[in-house]
Structure 1
Amino acid sequence: MSAETVAAERSRNGASVPADECVTALDTQVRRYLDHLTVERGSSSNTLSSYARDLRRYTDHLAERAITDVAAVREADVRDLMVTLRRGDEERRPLADSSVARTMVAVRGFHRFAAAEGLTADDVAAAVHPPRAPARLPKALSVAEVLAILEAAGGDQPGDTPRSLRDRALVELLYSCGARISEAVTLDVDDIDTESRSVIVHGKGGKQRIVPVGGPAIEALEAYLVRGRPALVARSNPALFLNVRGGRLSRQSAWQVLADAARRAGIDSAVSPHTLRHSFATHLLDGGADVRVVQELLGHASVTTTQVYTLVTVGSMREVYATTHPRAR
């Protein structure tokens, strides 16, 4: 991070120090790591913001121990951070294990990078394992609930307006291909192939995957592209989903589109774009899809991530069994 950025951060913490005195070797090393994530790993802006925030917490922790260079860090310093985060102190409240684990992932990644770049002789964080957060099963809607949301998408506007056509196409696509909300709003028109009924999804780390799209979603997309998008586009813009000013639809606006559709459908529980993604995966597995296929469709790097959905379907089977089998109890 720049000297000005560091100075601003420290100033907000009550330390008014000239910028040229604020930047330490550790600050520069963290900046190199974040640049590495950007250039070499292709990390998203959201990931970079999260890592920068967690590593700032770490550098503050080290500064309290007068450590200003990664070469001076010892394993005990890393372990002390994890203890402090979990217990809290006079100035900071304790963090949940999930937040501690996220911070430690950033710290471990930074030290792994430092060792690989020769900034340190050893990876002092390698043996410090983050706490294992309790497994939380993803929330999945029933097929009937999803269909009600799809029916309600764009329904707050009379007739087929450009916005209502866009909203229907967006919600249909989210469920049809299980895309993340960030992936949906970054789609361009050229990423959609209505003839082969597929979409090129640009996932995490710049990885692309081709995902099939169902008939109803293709129909909604074609209607939007023919009768909705031309009325929204204000200038040459490759974005598939546009806002009313002709720019690319934001994640927040897309989230609101789904939330409004769920409210009109009478769904009481909170519904997010990830809820549709969870439902997409669960319904595929319920229908007999192989977990490896679902992994590819979701863009998961590891099948372990996808296997959490198998717990959801097993739970559903147990519930059905318990309520329907005459000898279940």
Structure 2
Amino acid sequence: MHNNLQKFQDYLLKEKNYSVHTALAYGKDLEFFQQFLDGNFDKTALEEVSYTLVRSWIVFMVDAGVSNSSVNRKMSSLKSFYKFLLKTKQIEVSPLSKHKALKTPKKVQIPFSEDELDNVLTHVVYKEGFDGVRDKLVIEMFYSTGIRRSELIGLQLKNVDLSGGQIKVLGKRQKERIVPLLPLMIDQLKLYLDERKVLKSIVDADFLFLLSNGNKLNETFVYRLINDYFSNVSEKVKRSPHMLRHTFATHMLNHGADLNSIKELLGHSSLASTQVYTHSSLTELKNVYQSAHPRNQK
């Protein structure tokens, strides 16, 4: 098993371009399953597992209070592992070939309103100097481009093209995409870059966004930044960078952008991922429908 686990993780990293974090998480899930097998089924090897044994693990986890979404994530790890064993011809049929994911409640995420965004970008008082200029630019960047938190943190100076009005973003699985910048973003970037030049020391010089000590941003800092500023203008419980990505997509839809364009801007590999944002646009869609359909004009 350990030999196959190492090969599987190498496959995820090198062939599937998964992050180290994801490959390790998949490995942990497989180790947990192996421990369950060792404790209950006389050390059955993962390569010899039947769906009955997988089902026993699912029942064990559910009884232990593991959430359906966590169980589904572990099953996703198993599915990938058995696909790898099929690909390398170590098994002929995956024990999960007919597995169906457990049902999970759909969480409807309420995006920020346009008024809330207007308030945070025009009425909130920002700190003086570098910190304030950076904070506002971070919020503007999330809302104007829809990029992920990890993409914003990893954005490099060389990939910001002010004259072309665009940025090159490195997304999931090392996929690059070009995202256009609004004219007001270009002005704010110039202002930020001027402030950035006068920092006393710059440690992570390649990165666009820095802390005042010259290091690049980290995930906790970015989360707190968004949460703190939006707590001034919003009562919503969820005030995260991802909520700004969600808001970007929803507001674009509300103003007539088509799903395919939003898919490209967000860096989604399939339209199904983008369609999650249509739910919060249903109210707007109904209003457009009522006012635009010929049968309602009579």
Q: Partner of 1:52 in structure 2?
A: 27
- SS of 1:231's partner is coil
- Separation in structure 1 between the aligned mates of residue 200 and residue 223 of structure 2, nearest angstrom: 19
Range moving further from structure 2, 310-319 or 72-81? 310-319
1:105 paired residue number: 76
Alignment deviations for residues 57-111 of structure 1 (CA, whole Å, 9 cap, x no partner)? 222222222335332212211222222222x2xxxx2222211111111111111
Mapped pair 1:203 → 2:178: no
Counterpart-to-counterpart distance in 1, 2:200 and 2:46: 51
Q: Provide closer, same or farther for how the CA distance between residues 52 and 244 of structure 1 changes in structure 2, counting only shifts above 3 A.
A: farther
Distance 2:186 2:45 in 1: 55
SS at match of 1:259: helix
Q: What corresponds to 2:56 in structure 1?
A: 80
Aligned counterpart, 1:13: none
Deviation at 1:305, TM superposition (A): 1.2
Secondary structure, aligned partner of 1:307? helix
Of 133, 136, 139, the match for 1:171: 139
How much has 1:302 moved relative to structure 2?
A: 0.8
User: Match of 2:91, SS?
Assistant: coil
In the alignment, the residues of structure 1 paired with residue 200 and residue 152 of structure 2 have an alpha-carbon distance, to the nearest angstrom, of 18
Shift of 1:219: 1.8
Alignment of structure 1 residues 6-155 onto 2, 5 Å: 26-64=1-39, 65-67=41-43, 69-86=45-62, 88=63, 93-151=64-122, 155=125
State whether residues 126 and 133 of structure 2, in contact with CA within 8 Å, keep that contact through their aligned partners in structure 1. Answer: no
C-alpha distance in structure 2 between counterparts of 1:294 and 1:36, whole Å: 31
Deviation (angstroms), 1:175: 0.8
C-alpha distance 252-48 of structure 1, shift in aligned 2 (>3 A)? farther
Amino acid at match of 1:302: S
Q: For residue 257 of structure 1, what is the aligned residue in structure 2?
A: 225
The 3 A distance-change label for structure 1 pair 43 and 189 is same
Q: Which runs of 5+ in 1 are unaligned?
A: 1-25
**Are the equivalent residues in 1 in contact too, given 2:204–2:216 (CA < 8 A)?**
no
**Matched residue type, 1:47:** T
TM-aligned CA deviation for residue 186 of structure 1: 0.5
Structure 1's 266 and 292: CA in aligned 2 closer, same or farther, altered over 3 A?
A: closer
CA distance change for structure 1 residues 315 and 107 in 2, over 3 Å: closer, same or farther? farther
Partners of 2:157 and 2:46 in 1: CA distance: 46
Q: TM-score, normalised by structure 2?
A: 0.89
Comparing 57-66 with 201-210, greater Cα deviation is found at: 57-66
Residues 67/121 of structure 1: CA separation in 2 closer, same or farther (3 Å cut)? farther
Q: 1:27 to 1:189 in 2, by over 3 A?
A: same
Q: CA deviation at 1:214?
A: 1.5
Aligned to 2:267: 299
Query: CA offset at residue 320 of structure 1?
Result: 9.7
Which amino acid letter does the alignment assign opposite residue 263 of structure 1? S
Distance 2:67 2:136 in 1: 37
Q: Over residues 232-258 of structure 1, what are the superposed CA-to-partner deviations in whole Å (9 max), with x where a residue is unaligned?
A: 652462011112331211111111111
Separation in structure 1 between the aligned mates of residue 57 and residue 71 of structure 2, nearest angstrom = 9
Structure 2: distance between partners of 1:229 and 1:126: 56
Determine if contact 1:199/1:211 at 8 Å carries over to the other structure: yes
TM-score (norm 1): 0.81
State how far apart, in whole Å, the 1-side matches of 2:229 and 2:20 are. 28
Superposition CA RMSD, Å: 2.3
| Offset, 1:220 | 1.7
Q: What is the CA distance between 1:319 and its match in structure 2?
A: 8.2
The share of aligned pairs that are identical, in percent, is: 28
CA distances 1:182-203 after superposition (whole Å, capped 9, x unpaired): 1100000111111121111111
Q: Does the 8 Å contact 2:34/2:45 carry over to 1? A: no
Q: How does 1:162-241 map to 2 (within 5 A)?
A: 162-231=130-199, 233-235=201-203, 237-241=205-209
Provide the rounded CA distance (Å) in 2 between the counterparts of 1:224 and 1:35.
Answer: 40
- Do 2:111 and 2:246's aligned partners in 1 also have CA atoms closer than 8 Å? yes
Give the counterpart letter for 2:36 in structure 1: H
SS in 2 for 1:76: helix
Letter in 2 for 1:73: V
1:270 to partner: Cα distance: 2.5
Kept after mapping to 1: 8 A contact 2:111/2:247 = yes
